């Protein structure tokens, strides 16, 4: 069981990054700066979730 706790955070991080990239690119195509900002925020959230998962996996 060791190290599995961090994998859920890493998966959530990957989903957030994909969602953020989609929003960022859609906002860019539409010229919607609000959507781009939301996308960048989601990508940052995903990076943080991934880092938390890495830390949890190292502790085990």
Per residue of the chain (60 residues), give pLDDT as tens: 455 778 999 999 999 999 999 999 999 999 999 999 999 999 999 999 999 999 998 866
Would you state the pLDDT for residue 58? Answer: 86
Instruction: Say what the pTM is.
Output: 0.84
Residue 51 and residue 35: Cα distance in Å, rounded?
24
Q: At what angle do helices 33-59 and 5-30 cross, to 10 degrees?
A: 170
């Amino acid at each position: 069981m060791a190290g599995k706790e961090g994998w859920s955070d890493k998966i959530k991080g990957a989903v957030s990054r994909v969602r953020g990239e989609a929003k960022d690119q859609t906002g860019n195509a539409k010229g919607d700066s609000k959507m781009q900002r939301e996308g960048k925020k989601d990508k940052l959230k995903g990076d943080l979730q991934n880092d938390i998962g890495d830390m949890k996996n190292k502790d085990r």
